[in-house]
Each structure stands twice: as structure tokens, then as C-alpha cells.
Structure 1
């Protein structure tokens, strides 16, 4: 039986690209943003997928994103660079920073690139996966609008401030850790609100600092950091690198993607690339990674567990399966995308698998 809301991933990219182009974005940049969004849906991370597209288009239409100027390298010194995103679409800025990091690391063995004046750039895994395909290790992080309270506080100060690490293997799936520094990403809570679902206890607090399972209360309150004060410390570290060091907004200076029709976001990102060939031949490293992963998987398993997975493996498998069988989209996302397509004269039904 075919799922009624299952869509061909390539046609979803075409659908998203067509809308961005009609909104005025160049075809090349539109394709980049579309790929980044569908990448998340393929991996089962719907909070960072096409569910974000309506607000992207809304901010484009409101003049809050400037796609008339390409991102520029402000300075380059040794193995470091600073990229000004020029308030372009976040995925376009992130792609420019990634390519800069890969180029520098190819010459120097490593590269660190700070990014300022950007916007929401999608899932960090989108960039880590590309670096993996180039035989490189990538650490990538981003700050974000206020959602997390510092430990001991009740008012949001930090964003969910995600951090990711991608490391290639050989025949085994790559190591790809992509995580928010909050217990859950804000996008997951927003998606739960759209679907009318409760959230687990321990994800967030309400405006008075009390635990809540109501996503609406959580969005008015604050998200909780992973591991208590440890997650708070990691979120602050990310904000220092992406905000203060890169010259972007930080803390309250990173403006919201939603409910904000006045200010550009001024998000900051941070890319650190390592060329494996600077340490050892890539095939040898990949062989060692395969052996390492096999050892982990051979460890004794907990009762009821059939397999030990490595970070990112479930998402990797999900993407492989969905490239063949199609991407299932939540009903709420389908309704929003269909309405958006109707506004811009692009038919979502063309992407549905019959």
C-alpha cells in the first residue's frame, strides 16, 4: 500500500526550487536551498526540512533576506577566513563557507572559517555530509535565536546552537553527529504544536520555569540544555565562536526566524575542516574507521536491542530508503506546502508518488 503523503525527493527539490525562483532567487541559489531542505526530510529530520520553507519565502517577500549580493570573504590569513553572508539565504552562505573551508584545508591540511550576517542555514549535517564526500573531517556549528535559558535562569538567552561532526568511513556508514545543545531542537517543538501533539517532559519549561509538555507553553518559555549545566556550557561555547569571534550576532543579538518582520537574523556559523591525507592516506583511515565501527557493533547488546548504531546511521539508512521509496511528509507540512505552491503557481501534487 502506498503512503498517501509520500513524495519523490528529486521532484520535491524541483518544487522548492521553482518557488524560490519565482520569489526572485537565482536558479543556482534556489537549488542550493532546496537541496538543504530536502536533505533533512530524507534523513527523517522534518523539523529542518521543507517545514521551514514557508517562513523562508515569507522573509524573502518581506525584504528581510537579501539575495542580491553573493557572500564575500572579508579576510583570509593562513588557514583561516571570515565570510560575510551579506544577509543572503543561510544555505547559500553555508555553502560558500564550506567551499572556502574545503579549498583552504586542501592546501593547508586544515581550515577554520567564521561566518557572520547569515540566516537559518538548515541542518548542519548538510555541510558535514558534503565534506565527508570530499574525504575530509568537518566540525560545523551555528548559533541561533534565543530559545534556551542559562542554567539557573528562566528566560531564553541562547539558541539551540547546534553542533555537528562528520567523519568518513569506508564501506561502513560515516560517523555523522548532528545535535542541538538543547534536549530537543525548537523546530521539533514547533512541529509538535502544528500536529497537536504533546512533547516529552524534560524538553522545556514554561514562562515561570516549570516543566511543561505543552509545545505552545514551551515556545513561550524556554528550552532546556542537554546534560543540564554541561549543555549550557557547550551552547555558550558555540555562541562565542559563531557570534563573538565570527562578528555575528550573539545571545539576544541573534534575531528570530519567526514572528520577526523587522530585523535580519545576523546568525553566525563556524566551520573547521581537516584534511585526512595530512595525517595518513585516506584509504588507510577509512579501513581503520571500518574496523573501529565493526568493533563497536560487536559489543554485547542490551536486552531487547538487536543492533548498536553509530551516530548518524539511522538517518543515513533512512535517506537511502527514502531515495527509493519516497519521502513521507506530515499532513500539516503537506497542507502548508500545497498552499505555498498554490500562491506561487507550483503544484505539489506533481511530486507525489502515485
Structure 2
């Protein structure tokens, strides 16, 4: 049986309508919906609409606040600090990115730190927007403790993602979006929900033993990418996003799924570079195209059909799913259908051909 496919624009409409049912303004509801559907379009289902029900539950439980907008707590030259006021993470992230973009237009660079935020989706959601603006973006975030430092067996750092977006011209842009753990925790949670095993090099159990059981992995710790190098990178991100901004850090960042009394207090950093302060944008784009073509012309290893650049696989996936419809795992689709039924929203209209 072919999997059901869903129209991506109607998925955004359905998701936005669900958010409005729990008190989110229309404008903000569409921002968060776009963030989640963006992840599913790129094939990152662990950060897509599978997160919608938990976002809604946290709003209803009062651990995410909607009554105060994110605001600029401090600004000096090309740097600024945004207080998210415990609003939805994608709303806070969009606010901070727009500020960083504006600062970079004025000075060539914008550095915006964020405190008091929540889970803000995939970093690529913001990187794509900077690429569209002809800017380079480095975006970082800390996250709830799930990864042990090298030599330890207890969680201290989050998966602490990092992304870089750089525009090109005719070629696909450079878009690197990665966790500093071997894999994002959401993928392990998704495997647990599906009853699937995981690779043994993803995580350790509570005793420090490598495991292929996602449930034991969720009780234990993820492993950093590249061993001590990933540990160092995760620590660096936590320092910038937590200590520098005044957000929580290390185990102080609260769980999205388990803590129902305290805000997450996640920290982010958005560093934008305006290319026009170095080169006319079309000139830089041509240089990027030539550079990418040189990489793709490198002799290929046996069995390799082509050389891809970071983000190219996800970009192709997005283009395909925009044209053909988004595939959602049956378990995720059932949960969303039930959520829609609970709130009186028509889930069926999102199906392709409906």
C-alpha cells in the first residue's frame, strides 16, 4: 500500500488552526506551523509535525507563555540580546533572526543572543531565510541534557545543534544543519515510538554500555559526534547560548517532554553576515557556483554516483515533497488526526487529492 501524502500548504493551514485553538495568534500560529512543516518537507520528521501535540500540551499546561512578545533586552552596535519571554521557540527565533538580518544590513554583521526561549524547530528553518536574504547565517542552540561529556556516562549537554547557511546562484546553497551528538535525540524518540532498533554507536545506557534499544538510550546518554571533538563543540555552543545570553545551560535546560512546572529557558545565537559588505551578491553567487562545481568534479569513489554538498539531499527531498505531497509516518499521522478530532479541526483536507 502506498503511504498517504499530504499537501504541504494545507498541512501548514491545519497546524496553524490547531495552534489558534489553544490561544496562539494567527500570525504566530503560522510561523510555528511553517517551522514544523519545513522539517517534514526536508525529511526530518523527528522535528516536524510530530512535535505539534507536545507544543500544544505545554501551552495548555501554562509552561509556555503567550501573553508577552519577545523583546530586545539590550542592543549595542551590531550586537543585541533578545528575551523570548518564554514564548514559542519559532516565534522567538524568527524575531531574533529578523533583528540579526537588520543589523547585518546596517553594519555587515549581526550577532543576536537569545534567552528564555523554547524548542525552536530545525536550525535550517532560519538558515533558509537568511539564504533568501542574500546573507550568511550561523545559528546555534543549546538543548535539554541528553549527552554525556567524553569520559562520563551521565547526560550533561543537549544535542546542541549548529547550522550554517550560505547562498549560491544556480547551484544549491550550502546548508549544513547538524546536532553535536551522533544523532538528534528526536530520532531516538521516534524509533522508540515506532518500536525500531537503533545503531549501537548512537547512545549508551545508564551503565555506560552501548545499546541498540532506543528506550534504554533515552534513559542513558547520547554520544557526541567525533568523540571528544563533538563534546568540545557542544560545550562551546552551550557557553555561547547559555552562559553568554543568560539562558539556562547544561542540565539547567528543562525537558520539552518531562518538566511540566518550569520553562525550558533555552538559549540561541544568530550570527548573520551581509555578503554585500564584501562582494556584490551576484559576484559571490557566481564564485560559489564555480566552487561547488569544482567539488562535484572531484574523481568519485567506487560506488558513488555523485558528490553532494551539505543540505543537497534535504533540498531535493523538499522539492519532491512539495510537488508530490509530504509523507508522514502512520503513527504520526494517526496522532495528528486524533489531535484534530479533539479540537474540531478537519484533518482530511490536508490529504493530497482531497
- Cα offset, 1:211, TM superposition: 0.2
Distance 1:299 1:17 in 2: 45
Farther off after superposition, 27-36 or 341-350 = 341-350
Runs of 4+ more than 4 Å apart: none
What is the match of residue 145 of structure 1? 144
* Aligned equivalent of 1:348: 347
Matched, 1:224 2:223: yes
How much does 1:5 deviate?
A: 1.9
Q: TM-score, normalised by structure 1?
A: 0.99
**Match of 2:337?**
338
Q: Give distance in 2, aligned partners of 1:28 and 1:273.
A: 24
- Correspondence for 2:108: 109
Q: RMSD between aligned alpha carbons?
A: 0.7
User: Aligned ranges for residues 1-354 of structure 1 at < 5 Å?
Assistant: 3-354=2-353
For 1:78-134, what per-residue CA distance to the aligned partner results, in whole angstroms no more than 9, with x for missing partners? 100000000000000000000000000000000100000000000000000000000
Q: Secondary structure at the match of 1:347?
A: coil
Deviations 1:129-159 (A, max 9, x none): 0000000000001000000000000000000
Q: 1:35 & 1:327 partners in 2: Cα distance?
A: 13
1:155-198 deviations in whole A, cap 9, x for unaligned? 00000000000000000000000000000000000011111110
SS of the residue 1:208 aligns to: coil
Secondary structure, counterpart of 1:231 in structure 2:
helix
CA deviations on 1:318-338 (whole Å, 9 max, x unpaired) are: 111111100000011011111
Take 2:79 and 2:267, find their aligned partners in 1: how far apart are those partners?
16
Task: Give the secondary-structure state (helix, strand or coil) at the position aligned to 2:116.
Answer: strand
Deviations along 1:275-295, one digit per CA (max 9) or x if unpaired, are 001111110000000000000
Q: Which runs of 5+ in 2 are unaligned?
A: none
What is the rounded CA distance, in whole Å, between the counterparts of 1:303 and 1:348 in structure 2?
46
1:302 deviates by 1.1
For 1:19 and 1:51, the matched residues in 2 are separated by 13
Q: State the Cα deviation string for residues 194-222 of structure 1 (Å, max 9, x = none).
A: 11110111000000000000000000000
Output the TM-score relative to the length of structure 2.
Answer: 0.99
CA distance in 2, matches of 1:7, 1:311: 26
Quick one: distance in 1 between partners of 2:335 and 2:238? 32
Cα displacement string for residues 55-91 of structure 1 (whole angstroms, at most 9, x for unaligned residues)? 1001001011001111000010010000000000000
Take 2:352 and 2:110, find their aligned partners in 1: how far apart are those partners? 42
Instruction: Report deviation, 1:347.
Output: 2.0
1-side partners of 2:169 and 2:277: how far apart? 18
**Offset, 1:252:** 1.1
CA distance in 2, matches of 1:87, 1:251: 18
Paired residue secondary structure (1:115): strand
Alignment deviations for residues 225-276 of structure 1 (CA, whole Å, 9 cap, x no partner): 0000000000000000000001100001100001111110000000000000
